[in-house]
Each structure stands twice: as C-alpha cells, then as structure tokens.
Amino acid sequence: MSDAKAPELPAFQRYQLAFTAHLRDPRAHPRPRKVEARRMALYRELLYNSVESALLACFPVLRRILGQRKWGRLVRSFLAQHRSHTTYFRQIPDEFIQFLQHEWTPAADYPPFMLELAHYEWMELVLSVSTREADLSGLDSRADLLERCPVLNPVMALLNYAYPVHRLGPKFKPIEAPAQTTHLLMLRDLADRMRFIVLNPVSARLLSLLETGELSGRAALLKLAEEIHHPDPEIMLRFGLDMLQNLHAEQAILGTR
C-alpha cells in the first residue's frame, strides 16, 4: 500500500464543504471566515424552513404531537446527520423515514409510537403519488367473488402496527402498546381519494392470501378456515363472503378474473 497522502482539496472546495457543514450543523461547525454573520443566518433559516415545509406536508400529526421544541430538534438532527440521495423536495419525506429507521436514536422524551406514526403518515404520501394504475381491462366488477379470483387494488398497502396509529393525536398519546396489533388497509380509490380501513386479524389475513392473485375467494376462505381451525368451513364461507363484498365496496377489491 502506498504511503502517499491524498492530494489536498482546492481552496474553493474546502470553502464549500465548510459552508454546507455549517448550514447543516452550526453548533458543531463554525461559520466560515469572511461570511457575514447576518447573511449566514439567513442561509441557515432558508435551508431549515425549506426542509421543514416539505416534512410538515407529510407529517402533520407527528408535528402536533411532538410540539415545536422536540420537532425542531428532530429536524435539525435530520439536517446534521443524514446524507440524502436525492435533490427532489418531494422525496425529502422518504429520506426522513430512512433517517428515523436507520440512523436516529430517539431520546427518552420522544413517544414510543413515533416511528410507527411517521411510517403511517409517510405511506399516505407514497400511495397518493404512486404512478401505478388499476388495469380494468378484462375485469368483471360484478362477478362471483367466491368462485372467481378477486383482483386487488394495485395502489394499496396492508399495514400492521403495534400502536393504533390512526387514532394518535395530541390528546391520545399512549405510553405502552396495546395487547392487540392494529391492522389497517390504506388505498387510493379510482377517484384518486385516499381511504383508510381498520381491519381485524381475519380480514387482514384474507387480504394477504388474495395478494397473489391466484386464489378464488372460496379457496382463500377455505385456506383461512384451515389456518384458524374453524370448526365449520361453510359458516366461514358465508361470513367471508360478507368480508369480500365489503372490501369490494371499499375498492380494495376491484373485481374478479
């Protein structure tokens, strides 16, 4: 291995790095010399406000729960620690989620449900801007949901959380997760409206079985009955048909093939 030192960066690049390091984390990196303090403060404010506005649009509930001080500390930690892989403001929430999940160590005064709430709010953005479209060609919207294969909405997500994220707010901030998992279905309907459906464990499992697109409604329900050791599969079929019809009415199921 060569002992030769790496060449020193040109002066203008050293200046750029010092400038941006100060913008990201002014407490850890001093203001570059020959830059007026008032002007530098303006640059810091512009950067912070731009990033925060992109985050506020995606995480309004999280911001209300945290309050200004904790929220501001979190945004500044994001600026200081995370290295984004995009220059697009629309993708700043994506980078923020990566930061929360893989880089940030929450302090004790942050709520335990914070990561799940952030993910839930972020998923709404992901689905609302998704470029996926439902292929309705050859789809029968009135066919038998039991005997044919239900086709699911392609712009949806089956979500499972330890906390009831859909109920969280400034007046409801549980410090411990309930015993039962929260199952949610989030989707964008054919009119581009977002829908949020609370599921029970049985309906959540039914949807997961249908995701392959290979099972008829009857086959999925019989498999489900076997999994939960239901004593009477015929009762399960009658009960399950109601579930399928409700999912169809909510546009989670768009039809059959």
Is pLDDT of 18 > 60?
A: yes
Q: What is the mean pLDDT of residues 97-118?
A: 95
Say which CATH topology domain 135-257 has.
Outer Surface Protein A; domain 3 (3.90.930)
Report pLDDT for 6: 52
Looking at per-residue pLDDT, the higher value among 30 and 233 belongs to 233
| Contact by Cβ (8 Å): 34, 22 | no
Is pLDDT of 1 > 60?
A: no
Q: Supply the pTM of this predicted model.
A: 0.88
CA distance 120 to 160: 10
Q: Which two tokens stand for residue 148?
A: 């044919």
Q: pLDDT class for 15, splitting at 50, 70, 90?
A: low
Q: DSSP for 39-90?
A: HHHHHHHHHHHHHHHHHHTT-HHHHHHHHHHHHHHHHHHHHHH---S---GG
pLDDT digits (tens, 9 = 90+) for 196-244: 999 999 999 999 999 998 999 999 999 999 999 988 888 989 999 999 9
Q: Domain extents for the chain?
A: 11-110, 135-257
Angle between helices 60-81 and 11-24 in degrees, nearest 10:
150
Mean pLDDT across the chain, nearest whole number? 89
Report pLDDT for 141: 75
pLDDT digits (tens, 9 = 90+) for 134-147: 888 877 877 799 99
Residue 64 CB contacts under 8 Å (≥ 6 apart), including other chains: 169, 170
Burial (CB < 10 A; 0-12, 13-18, 19+), residue 48, is: middle
Our separate counts of H helices and E strands in the chain read: 8, 5
Residues 149-172: b if buried by 16+ CB within 10 A, e if exposed: bbbbbebbebbebbbbbbebeeee
Looking at per-residue pLDDT, the higher value among 44 and 218 belongs to 218
Q: pLDDT class for 162, splitting at 50, 70, 90?
A: very high
If residue 218 lies in a helix (H) or strand (E), which one and from where to where? helix 217-227
Q: Which CATH number fits domain 11-110: 1.10.1220, 1.10.150, 1.10.3470, 1.10.760?
A: 1.10.150
What percentage of the chain carries pLDDT values higher than 70?
A: 94
